[in-house]
Structure 1
């Protein structure tokens, strides 16, 4: 294992439907309670299976690939056995090797304008499908100018063939995402879909009216053409006069932390922070409203009322209910990705969700048939139950292994997880 010593300054009900159209908490309040029950006041919670330990015979092998990071947010695989790692403070590193003993080197990139504050900084990263030849990848980052917070934006980059340098090729690719000066609820996770379009999960920046305002890019899942930064073909609000609304795939979200595509269906799923209850995993439905409205329909526009339900069915009867909810206690779920490939055996198809507050990994089993938009079982592998502290990033590597990042603030690690 190689420690780093220096750093530079820093889709559906679903994408199948869209493809046909186009040819196509982190909680900031005290935690409360434990077990899920039906929410009062019109809220809706998914049936919440109690987590269990992973069954015998399903043990995992966990290896440390690299160490010495500080709040690594996400990873992206850029061809061969190489991955890029983002850190909240504005560092970008290249990891060469997908197993123990990998070599870590800083990437020269102009990241001096990253606004690293609170939950903001250099956040999600995703590599284009042709990254091995084009070098193209994108980052989500909070942006400042002359020390003044400006926005959350998605920037397109090109990595040099040797991986030592990265230059901006489109800045911003998508800009104008709202930013709270505190950095609160900044999102932000990008993922490429099988049709080549870019999905971006965003946060509501703790501003009351943003989640239900389709003219704002906060509290949304966006679907973007990565070649232009414009709306992807077939988006649900393509006819809107609002340029922002044309990018929106779904809305009414609080703070999306993960976006991933389910193998075999092409449907996007997301993971999301609740306030002090009800973290959620959702199936992303084009045009869907997920029911988070801390402005109470305009009744409290000046305040951010976190006592409203995560999915307010009284106010929004057609809101999309969660596939899974944490219930009366938050877990601070973060990154999410599906396990896929023959090496996983009967674990293939499980949704791996990293957990920050309670320092573990959830393995969630989606239902089938009429329950295919619900989680019907949750297990916690003992190998990843408190052993590495807070877990944030979760991505499936080109070798089929699950890669996780720890998020403890110092001496953080990149983990490789496989079936034992």
Structure 2
């Protein structure tokens, strides 16, 4: 099914507002935060350096890039992530706990065996899948998933060898240090760095009234001894690299790479600039695009543009010395999930742009950056479904997964002529 897109139509997006349900980082009503509230979603985002800054990057981009949306696959149950193998076959996770493979454009009806048992509840389940950079040599793939029960669960990372049909020799190489209650904020995106270490996003554990050790669990994002609310950096065997920023810091977890995060659902590495980018869910508004750097504090929940689901401010602080301001703040929330940097040649005018999926906004935001990493413009591309993942394929095209009971794999293709 092909749907041609006129980019000129998208320029009207800055004036459009639609009423949508805020679902934080969850899927459908069964996985949404218990105190979700309806808000009006705006196409225009605030770019904020401080609480009283003038928004920048809030123009809708104008591009000459014509493209079409092609539905490649249907019938996926809440797909979460995708990763290509060197032979061109595509792995896709389904949140209930299945790993699927697409061979020569056809979805194999039989799921891959050997997947670990997952805690599939609310936002939890089988989440990211990632292929080792040296897969051709070691056949290793990596999975993130939620493990445990409603009363005590955590994010785990496992690796296994893949023989083309099944996972073998599955090994849990990392698990979050503390268990938590309920089914919120698992994080779980994986990104590989050029040195073959990997960054993994870990959520803060959940919204009020969820507590840990007698205080709101979200405060763990500022606790360097905890994995919650962090990006961690691991060697491919799950150990902590010795050049991690807090290896020699007393009472700090050696795997911590950055902290002060709420729930990162989009994470990508730009091989041209060496920058790491993330998209992070706020609560009621305050979703963020961040340029993430080793050792930095991104503020949550001390500094945020979010508000409580129940109403009122989480904090009056929007910026603080020693904490990094977001490049973009989306209020009302888009619920960003899935993030890609475009490095291919099939879309000439998109090279170097970020593409951020939105669960609530049901679109993909093309984000143009300048050479310094500042946001210049944004362009909403309507999908009409909850967007869970965005990836660039080995063919240089962009692929989208939609988080629906009958989820789709959608491809953006250039329009010839």
- Residue matched to 1:165: 166
Aligned residue in 2 for 1:8: none
Distance 1:46 1:124 in 2: 36
- Distance in structure 2 (CA, Å) of the matches to 1:52 and 1:270: 21
CA contact (8 A) 1:193 1:261 kept: yes
What's the counterpart of residue 290 of structure 1?
298
> Given the alignment, which residue of 151, 154, 158 partners 1:155?
158
Residue in structure 2 matched with residue 397 of structure 1 by the alignment: 393
Task: Give the whole-Å Cα distance in 1 for the aligned partners of 2:282 and 2:270.
Answer: 22
CA distance in 2, matches of 1:180, 1:150: 5
1:230 equivalent in alignment to 2:239: yes
The CA RMSD over aligned residues, in Å, is: 2.9
Aligned to 2:28: none
Secondary structure at 1:52's aligned position in 2?
coil
**How far 1:175 moved relative to its partner?**
0.9
2:338 corresponds to which of 327, 330, 335: 335
1:240 aligns with: 249
SS, match of residue 245 in structure 1: coil
CA drift of 1:176 comes to: 2.3
Show structure 1 runs of 5+ residues with no match: 2-24, 297-303
Partner SS state of residue 325, structure 1: strand
Query: Cα deviations across residues 110-143 of structure 1 (Å, max 9, x unaligned)?
Result: 43x3001111111111110112332211111101
| 2:176 alignment partner, SS class | strand
Q: Does 1:361 align with 2:361?
A: no
1:78 to 60, 80, 85: 85
Aligned counterparts of 1:196 and 1:125: Cα–Cα separation in 2: 16
Q: How does 1:103-118 map to 2 (within 5 A)?
A: 103-111=108-116, 113-118=117-122
- The Cα of 1:240 is off from its aligned counterpart by 2.6
Q: Check conservation: 1:263, 1:349, Cα contact below 8 A.
A: no
Separation in 1, partners of 2:179, 2:158: 15
* Structure 2 gap ranges (5+): 2-23, 26-31, 207-216, 305-309
1:307 matches 2:313? yes
Distance 1:137 1:275 in 2: 32
The 3 A distance-change label for structure 1 pair 77 and 178 is farther
For 2:364 and 2:113, the matched residues in 1 are separated by 32
Q: Is the 8 A contact 2:154 2:186 kept in 1?
A: no
Q: Secondary structure at the match of 1:133?
A: helix
- Give the drift of 1:103: 4.4
Question: Within the alignment, does 1:349 sit opposite 2:358 as a pair?
Answer: no
- Rate the CA distance shift 1:31–1:39 in 2: closer, same or farther, 3 A: farther
Provide the rounded CA distance (Å) in 2 between the counterparts of 1:414 and 1:108: 22
Q: Which has the higher contact order (CA 8 A, sep 6+)?
A: 1
Alpha-carbon distance, 1:415 to partner: 1.8
The whole-number CA distance in structure 1 between the counterparts of 2:353 and 2:102 is: 27
Which residue in 1 is equivalent to 2:323? 319
Q: 1:44 to 1:211 in 2, by over 3 A?
A: farther
DSSP 3-state at the match of 2:221: coil
Contact 1:191 1:259 in 2 (8 A): yes
CA distance 1:118–1:352, shift in 2 (3 Å): same
SS of corresponding position for 1:246: coil
Matches within 5 A, 1:2-151: 25-26=24-25, 28=33, 29-32=36-39, 34=42, 43=51, 47-50=55-58, 52=60, 55=63, 57-97=64-104, 99=105, 101=106, 103-111=108-116, 113-144=117-148, 149-151=152-154
Partner of 2:187: 187
Q: 2:267 aligns with which of 255, 259, 265?
A: 259
What TM-score, normalized by structure 1, do the two folds share?
0.80
Distance 1:141 1:333, change over 3 A: same
Quote how far apart the aligned CAs of 1:174 are.
Answer: 1.2
User: 3-state SS of the aligned residue for 1:329?
Assistant: coil
Aligned length: 369
* 1:120–1:402 CA distance, 2 compared to 1 (3 A): same
- Counterparts of 1:354 and 1:306 in 2: how far apart (Å)? 27
1:149, distance to aligned residue in structure 2 (A): 3.6
Cα 1:233–1:31 change in 2 (3 A) is farther
Q: Is the 8 A contact 1:391 1:405 kept in 2?
A: yes
User: Could you say which residue in structure 2 is the equivalent of 1:375?
Assistant: 375
> Is residue 2:203 matched to residue 1:197?
no
**2:413 alignment counterpart:** 418
Equivalent pair of 1:361/1:391 in contact (CA under 8 Å): yes
